[in-house]
């Protein structure tokens, strides 16, 4: 049951994200007087709809997107445009553009030609087309702000999670203590799981990193350690043990000498681990994390062709999928179900909610980045057309030439069909790969 609840949460959250995306288009379109005939969530057959004024609002059977239908998306062809004989292959592309123009013209109600989308100024076109992706970006920022500053991010704390009973050197491949193994310093000092580290050698401890750094440089002599246990302070005496530990580089790899042997250094050792707790961050961290997430999402989008090739090899061959690679709707649903159903110590309801919200934020960032690709039928394609229109009119104005009029984006309809086909193929491939070669959070 918990698994299904997790899947349902993501499905509802994704539906809300799509609905808000389309509202981002709908509100400015109506504000600027464009006639909007439909506001739909999903594709395919209509499950139900209701007409309010001139707009039909409804939900369709396939909840993998949405759209609003605005009249006059493409300008009509010039009445005096000469017809030229073109090669047969060119006529196919031209017919696609002509069909799109005719369909757009048929939607224009006589007497409301001024309410066509193509008649808008460039800034208004940009506001309408950018409104959808912008809603996803804002939604992602709000969700991440709630997670980061309201709930918190997982981080090590000054609370003790476990205490080692003895010291086993890294060269010994065993997990249990032997009779000759010396007692770990923290165990000998009386440190217990659940203790909160307060100070070491009279210096206050605010983070686990402070304790770790200080214990590594503390000499092997009795040192005062104050812990909080059950609301009371206890003063203990800990004698760090100096042991050899491997040296790691900035990438987390063990450094080795010329002979290939691991490089070690003598450091102080206590024998305790810290608990992972949710730690609230400053709201100032939100823009930084959003920026990093946008960069990572953009990198995934830019490398999609190669990633899809790798996914194909894994889905139809014996290779394994990249755990950091893209997943489809089935994979996202599996992640949500695992988060809701997994049984781990210390992983409670708050942690589950934070992770589910994190998935929704990631989905909205992906919707923003993907829709900004400057190709039709994506929003970025219409934005690119509007920017080109603005550039043409600016150049004409500077050169004191006649207004060239709106850009005929209908000429890019062959590209739109191609993009639609590619997206459809990628979606089917991801769904298939999520079924036969799934990526799971448990690895």
**Structure letter (DSSP) for residue 254:** B
- Residue 351 to residue 357: CA distance in whole angstroms: 10
Selection from 159, 262, 267 nearest residue 208 by Cα = 159
3-state secondary structure string across 181-240: CCECHHHHHCCCCCCEEEEECCEECCCHHHHHHHHHHCCCCCEEEEEEECCEEEEEEECC
> In Å, what is the CA distance from 57 to each residue of 14, 64, 347?
18, 17, 41
**Rounded (5°) CA angle 169-170-173:** 95
Q: Which of 22, 107, 165, 210 is labelled catalytic?
A: 22
Name the helix (H) or strand (E) containing 15: helix 2-31
Separation of alpha carbons 136 and 24, rounded Å: 9
Separation of alpha carbons 7 and 4, rounded Å? 5
Are 311 and 415 a contacting pair, CB within 8 Å?
no
CA angle 157, 163, 165 (to 5 degrees): 165
Question: Is 81 in the active site?
Answer: no
Cis peptide before 92 (omega within 30 of 0): no
Residues involved in catalysis: 22
């Amino acid at each position: 049951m918990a698994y299904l609840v997790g899947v349902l949460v993501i499905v509802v959250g994704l539906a809300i994200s799509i609905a808000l995306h389309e509202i981002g288009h709908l509100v400015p379109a109506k504000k600027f007087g464009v006639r909007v005939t439909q506001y739909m969530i999903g594709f395919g057959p209509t499950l139900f709809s209701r007409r309010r004024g001139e707009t039909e609002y409804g939900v369709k059977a396939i909840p993998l997107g949405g759209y609003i239908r605005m009249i006059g998306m493409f300008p009509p062809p010039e009445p005096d445009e000469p017809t030229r004989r073109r090669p047969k292959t060119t006529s196919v592309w031209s017919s696609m553009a002509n069909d799109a123009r005719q369909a757009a013209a048929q939607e224009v109600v006589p007497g409301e030609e001024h309410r066509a989308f193509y008649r808008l100024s460039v800034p208004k076109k940009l506001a309408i087309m950018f409104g959808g992706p912008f809603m996803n970006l804002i939604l992602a920022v709000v969700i991440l702000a709630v997670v980061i500053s309201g709930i918190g991010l997982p981080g090590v704390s000054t609370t003790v999670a476990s205490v080692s009973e003895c010291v086993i050197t890294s060269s010994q491949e065993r997990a249990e203590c032997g009779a000759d193994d010396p007692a770990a310093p923290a165990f000998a000092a009386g440190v217990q799981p659940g203790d909160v580290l307060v100070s070491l050698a009279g210096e206050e401890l605010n983070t686990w990193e402070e304790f770790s750094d200080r214990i590594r440089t503390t000499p092997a002599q009795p040192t005062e350690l104050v812990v909080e246990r059950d609301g009371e302070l206890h003063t203990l005496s800990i004698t760090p043990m100096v042991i050899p530990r491997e040296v790691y580089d900035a990438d987390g790899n063990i450094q080795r000498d010329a002979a290939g042997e691991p490089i070690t250094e003598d450091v102080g050792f206590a024998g305790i681990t810290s608990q992972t707790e949710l730690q609230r961050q400053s709201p100032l961290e939100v823009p930084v994390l959003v920026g990093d997430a946008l960069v990572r999402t953009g990198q995934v989008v830019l490398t999609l062709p190669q990633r899809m090739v790798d996914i194909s090899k894994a889905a139809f061959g014996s290779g394994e999928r990249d755990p950091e690679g893209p997943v489809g709707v089935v994979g996202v649903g599996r992640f949500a179900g695992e988060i809701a159903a997994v049984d781990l110590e210390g992983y409670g309801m708050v942690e589950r909610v934070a992770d589910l919200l994190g998935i929704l934020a990631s989905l909205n960032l992906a919707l923003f980045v993907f829709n900004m690709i400057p190709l039709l039928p994506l929003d970025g394609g219409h934005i690119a057309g509007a920017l080109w229109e603005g550039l043409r009119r600016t150049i004409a104005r500077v050169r004191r030439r006649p207004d060239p009029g709106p850009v005929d984006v209908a000429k890019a309809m062959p590209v739109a069909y191609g993009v639609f086909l590619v997206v459809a193929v990628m979606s089917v491939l991801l769904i298939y790969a999520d079924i036969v070669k799934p990526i799971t959070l448990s690895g």
